[in-house]
Structure 1
């Protein structure tokens, strides 16, 4: 038994006694600080126990009862129970022929909810989901509610009514993920749902296999009491609207956009299969630079990065990002669907009044930034 493992603190008579005699070891053991909690992979210590971060605020008893909105049964996805505080939405399954690609809109009404602050979201998907962006917007007075699960024109367009209507972005998935992808904000952080709105998503499916595929898709949104929220989050997005990468060429597409201050909590790049790298830097007003994201080549893994310590921006700071594409095809790569590319940066930040939207009309042209938070 090694007495030297017990630390002596001047003035602490109990610890001094421990050093003098092994007779006191059992009595002194409780005076040592408790070891840090070690949690299994995928869990974190929270209030004395290990939890899935998405279930951090899940109550012991269900508070949201009729909280699943679905239009057809699923046969391939095995889903856990829906959130006890939160809700689930399920898209109708879609069958794709070999190599088929399609985009369409799906809409849902909000179920009745007790809590309206989302602190985590998760997508469940079979192979075939290229990407989807789940948003919520007010019911269009010209059309009325969407014909769920169908959509009125423009229901899934997040930009069509800016700045008069700033959409809520509930979830944006990485490219071609299979299985699950989860976005869990740091403790105390979440975005607010306006349940008078309705949910819609633009779903982009791509069957890369040589066999027909049934694509199934569902989302869970985990909510917490408002009393738990310390920071309200809002989405931000940056985009290069047009570019060209010639056949057999490697080229970096990107832009540098000014910000209005605030704090970055998460980032997610969006590219397609020709991407070799995706880098994001903070460019300070005084000329300093800090790399905050370094993504590698396209794969089927999730690309969401969450910062437990938010990245602080000062007014005058800029965000620079670049997408390096290696065009192995025999055609020009341009912005678009199909066998083309995109160079988009998405994330969440706070406070809401600093919300940012930015774009470069074409690669190499200046970026235009909009302080969307000023219209809230």
Structure 2
């Protein structure tokens, strides 16, 4: 497949979770927030909140939309577009975005654009039929959101008062990368929720920035790390005619299944080298991080970012989709312009740290002025009641996320109920798809990817979780920790504590026929075919 052009943004993800059921906490991957120095942005997007009278709770509302279901046949890989027309007569100011799907959404990049741009009906459609591209979407509208790689449930919660502005008569649009690695059909619903603020509660209207390391030549059978030095201060000042002035509110990294590290730090100035964000590993989790307070970069030259890879393959890997890799970051900032920084050529080998090969490159930097519609709220908006766009008839009373329901013990299993079919229809798309239980660095030491010896590994695996149950007890699904993790919304460990069900980061369980397939295989003796 060919890749669509990049705008000032792209998707991003990941870090493997704790051992299955070992705790109820989120997996590694939360960013650390540095204490920014004090200062003022002076940029055109900042709106001071009221300073008189007693402080009051922000006035908010939530709008939810279902894009419907997309049926992915076995082993399908496709990149359609999807659209939701808001029918908003006034601007809305989004403080949080929630995205939920039932699996198969490898990544997606979201924009708000005028209704007449990429004109056509809502729902899923062929991107080429409307000449969709992300550059046009970013320039004609604004970046709204990017999905962490393979995340099934994600909330981008911005700090209080920070918003993405969606002007009147706009629609939400995205290019999505769908991938069903399973041997059965996958019918996946996509749902989005927007938390909107009253204009009087807004402190900053944010814009996108994008860091991208394209000059990837990841050596075979080695660990490597690529560092991009993005000194965009001078580009900012030459473009705007103003001193460099930027505050960083949110970051989301992106790499694929070979990625094992992402780091972000300040470049130049008195805080050169100060780490802002670190991510180890890869999973299907939501891995963005908000900075509260935001990081003031006005005394820096830019940002330095790095991606680490464990290429256990017997071939070099480059930049791209499929079995290739990426290294990039979406940032949301309060600034006069959008920034694009990328390393397209000139990577240099700078050394070796233990077993990690180190390479670096200098970013080429570009500044793009924001759409004029991306200004602060008007005095009229400040004085009006909170505007909420109308809900589509099918979205009335729709919740942002689906409710989880335990798998029905009476459900008929999808057939055949062999271990090979369990691996192809359950383990591959839901357990190794996010590289958590793959063969290179399996979470909890459980490799569900390698076909050879899989039956023995399941029976002999030492469960890390606090439970008396083995991973698989032949003939007894209820005494099998693996089955309980995928069949119960709130499985309890040996101490009666509720732990996270699987798949990781999924709001609901797998379809009943697939859970019943696993149950039937265990009931029949957990045979290795």
TM-score (norm 1): 0.70
Any conservation in 1 of the 2:59–2:198 contact (CA below 8 Å)?
no
Single out whichever of 230-239 and 152-161 deviates more from structure 2. 152-161
Select the residue among 211, 217, 220 that pairs with 2:184.
Answer: 211
**Alpha-carbon shift at residue 192 of structure 1 (Å):** 0.9
1:193 maps onto 2:176 in alignment = no
Q: What's the counterpart of residue 486 of structure 2?
A: none
Q: What's the counterpart of residue 108 of structure 2?
A: 132
SS at match of 1:244: coil
Q: Distance in 1 between matches of 2:184 and 2:276?
A: 40
Deviations 1:219-264 (A, max 9, x none): 1111111101012211211112241213222221231112343000
SS at match of 2:278: strand
Q: Distance in 2 between matches of 1:374 and 1:134?
A: 16
- Number of paired residues? 292
Q: Distance in 2 between matches of 1:301 and 1:272?
A: 13
Any conservation in 1 of the 2:65–2:191 contact (CA below 8 Å)?
yes
Q: What's the counterpart of residue 249 of structure 1?
A: 222
Select the residue among 358, 363, 369 that pairs with 2:365.
Answer: 369
Q: What's the counterpart of residue 151 of structure 2?
A: 177
Select the residue among 265, 269, 272 that pairs with 2:249.
Answer: 265
- Runs of 5+ in structure 2 lacking a partner? 1-24, 27-56, 234-244, 348-360, 373-529
1:119 maps onto 2:95 in alignment = yes
Deviations 1:87-114 (A, max 9, x none): 3333232222333322111122223366
Any conservation in 2 of the 1:95–1:212 contact (CA below 8 Å)?
yes
1:313 maps onto 2:297 in alignment = yes
**Alpha-carbon shift at residue 373 of structure 1 (Å):** 3.7
SS at match of 1:130: strand
1:225 maps onto 2:187 in alignment = no
Measured at CA, do residues 134 and 368 of structure 1 come closer, stay the same or move farther in structure 2, by a change above 3 Å? same
Q: Relative to total residues, which structure has the larger helix share, 1 or 2?
A: 2
Q: What's the counterpart of residue 343 of structure 1?
A: 327
Any conservation in 1 of the 2:90–2:169 contact (CA below 8 Å)?
no
Q: What's the counterpart of residue 308 of structure 2?
A: 324
Q: Distance in 1 between matches of 2:161 and 2:151?
A: 27
SS at match of 1:370: strand
SS at match of 1:159: helix
Single out whichever of 281-290 and 216-225 deviates more from structure 2. 281-290
Any conservation in 2 of the 1:58–1:224 contact (CA below 8 Å)?
yes
SS at match of 1:227: helix
1:357 maps onto 2:340 in alignment = yes
Any conservation in 1 of the 2:67–2:189 contact (CA below 8 Å)?
yes
Deviations 1:258-284 (A, max 9, x none): 234300011100111111100111112
After TM superposition, where is structure 1 displaced by more than 6 Å over at least 4 residues in a row? none
Single out whichever of 194-203 and 342-351 deviates more from structure 2. 194-203
Q: Distance in 2 between matches of 1:335 and 1:86?
A: 38
Q: Relative to total residues, which structure has the larger strand share, 1 or 2?
A: 1
**Alpha-carbon shift at residue 346 of structure 1 (Å):** 0.5
**Alpha-carbon shift at residue 204 of structure 1 (Å):** 0.8
- Runs of 5+ in structure 1 lacking a partner? 1-40, 43-55, 60-84
Q: Distance in 1 between matches of 2:109 and 2:141?
A: 11
Measured at CA, do residues 155 and 57 of structure 1 come closer, stay the same or move farther in structure 2, by a change above 3 Å? farther
Any conservation in 2 of the 1:128–1:213 contact (CA below 8 Å)?
yes
Measured at CA, do residues 193 and 135 of structure 1 come closer, stay the same or move farther in structure 2, by a change above 3 Å? same
TM-score (norm 2): 0.51
1:168 maps onto 2:142 in alignment = yes
Q: Which has the higher contact order (CA 8 A, sep 6+)?
A: 2
Q: Distance in 1 between matches of 2:315 and 2:67?
A: 34
Q: What's the counterpart of residue 135 of structure 2?
A: 159
**Alpha-carbon shift at residue 285 of structure 1 (Å):** 2.9
Measured at CA, do residues 106 and 249 of structure 1 come closer, stay the same or move farther in structure 2, by a change above 3 Å? same
Q: Distance in 2 between matches of 1:213 and 1:363?
A: 42
**Alpha-carbon shift at residue 291 of structure 1 (Å):** 0.6
Measured at CA, do residues 240 and 305 of structure 1 come closer, stay the same or move farther in structure 2, by a change above 3 Å? same
Any conservation in 2 of the 1:259–1:316 contact (CA below 8 Å)?
no
1:298 maps onto 2:282 in alignment = yes
Measured at CA, do residues 331 and 216 of structure 1 come closer, stay the same or move farther in structure 2, by a change above 3 Å? farther
Q: Distance in 2 between matches of 1:306 and 1:236?
A: 14
Q: Distance in 2 between matches of 1:300 and 1:161?
A: 26
Any conservation in 2 of the 1:175–1:272 contact (CA below 8 Å)?
yes
Q: Distance in 1 between matches of 2:78 and 2:158?
A: 31
Q: What's the counterpart of residue 96 of structure 1?
A: 72
Q: Distance in 2 between matches of 1:223 and 1:155?
A: 30
